[in-house]
Amino acid sequence: MKCASLIAIVLALQLAQNVVAAPTVTAFDGTWSIALNAHEYKNPDGSMTLPSVRYFRAKIRDGVLHGEILVKGEPNWYALDGKIATNGMANLRASGLTGKNPAYSSLKLRPNLPYQYEVMASFDNRHGTGYSVNNPPGRPRVRIFTFVKDTVADVYRHVADLLVSQGMFAESEQVLHSLKQKEYHNFLPGDSPDAVMDQAPQTAYDQKWEDRFKAIHDQLAAIGQEYSALVKKAPRTDEENQRLSVLQSDLATAQQALQQFYREIAMIGSPERANALQESGEALMQNLPTIDPGAVVIETVALPDKYRVILTTPDVQIPAEYAISREELRKKAFAFREAIDSRAPESEIKSLANGLYQILIGPIEKNLESYRPKT
């Protein structure tokens, strides 16, 4: 039976490919996922610019690429444009505005400054790579680009529809699961999602930053505040510069943990959800100081395996998690509501409320206490 189901899936894939596949104007036309990786950079004054990774989508039509992040005119806006030659070579132009957090901008440039640079890239009909050249003096670090064409999503979804129409619901679910794995690869090329989720850290470097993150997690809000105050101070003593380097290293560790957080959401939830969280986080860090200097934002994600939460302050984003399944969390929430609706004893309601608090807020409680937000 299982063999027959797999055969049906293969036949449906072949049928869908025949139905969906259509000639494009150029071999590169379509939707592409792009990863922009800017490594940690040492500024001329000895301070460090924190690493960052940005993910976004681009459209190629008639061989012309356009991709964009955030809203043009706002801090941290970014766009990538250019023509791809028939041989796959491209000289793209990146345009953008610096963000409000100077820790991620080379030479600690002030917010909303325009910049441009070129990206030398090469494509085949499914993949591409590139690197930045002609970087302006204020943003001299090299950025690495990875491009992956989204070629299978429509085929997989069409297969799922065909299987559902034939009453093969389990097989349809299997195909959609395979699509999620494909989307994960498009969003974060590299190891298989199962390997990423199940394996221990593959290098001593990975283990080192994870251990450091666990050690400093509950102090990250205070570290971010201290860093923001110290980076604005001028002049600084040698001791203060040394302290600044330590703080930068710890914030870089937090950024690595945040990228791991996005990778997990991309695999278990969806790449689009991870991308939306990243973009909203960047915008929040930029806008919180202007909205309310004492405000923080808490974003929650309940996925099948764990509850995840991001605490965003004007200085840092702090990921955290609690080991509880989405179904179990839902049961606890319903039990709490039912206790209130049925006017259960106050002690029972308080016990249920405290249990939910430990799950929802407990992972970031110490950071909230140290930051003392007003909103």
- pLDDT tens for 284-298 read 766 666 667 678 888
pLDDT score at 95: 92
* Cis preceding-peptide flag for 23 (omega within 30 of 0): no
Higher pLDDT, 192 or 28: 28
User: Of 135, 179, 143, 139, which is closest to residue 161 (Cα–Cα)?
Assistant: 179
Higher pLDDT, 107 or 200: 107
pLDDT score at 160: 55
pLDDT tens-digit map of 216-235: 899 988 888 888 888 778 78
In three-state secondary structure terms, 246 is helix
pLDDT score at 364: 93
The structure's pTM equals 0.52
User: Of 214, 212, 190, 216, which is closest to residue 202 (Cα–Cα)?
Assistant: 190
User: CA 160 to CA 174: how far, in whole Å?
Assistant: 9
From 1.10.30.50, 3.40.50.1820, 2.40.128.380, 3.40.718.10, which CATH number describes the 1-190 domain?
A: 2.40.128.380
User: Of 93, 109, 123, which is closest to residue 43 (Cα–Cα)?
Assistant: 109
| Residue 190: both structure tokens together | 């590299």
Mean pLDDT, the chain, as a whole number? 75
Task: Provide the residue type at 141 as one letter.
Answer: R
CA distances from 251 to 48, 60, 81, 175, 225 (A): 11, 36, 31, 40, 11
pLDDT level of residue 358 (50, 70, 90 thresholds): very high
pLDDT score at 361: 92
Residue 91 β-bridge partners: 120
| Residue 219: both structure tokens together | 């102090």
- Quote helix, strand, coil % in the chain, to nearest 5: 50, 25, 30
Length of the chain, please?
375
For the chain, domain boundaries: 1-190, 193-324+358-371
pLDDT score at 203: 45
CA distances from 200 to 195, 207, 209, 263, 358 (A): 9, 8, 13, 15, 27
**Radius of gyration for the alpha carbons in the chain, expressed in angstroms and rounded:** 24
Please compute the mean of the pLDDT values over residues 358-371 and round it to a whole number: 92
User: Of 305, 326, 204, 190, which is closest to residue 259 (Cα–Cα)?
Assistant: 190
pLDDT score at 356: 92
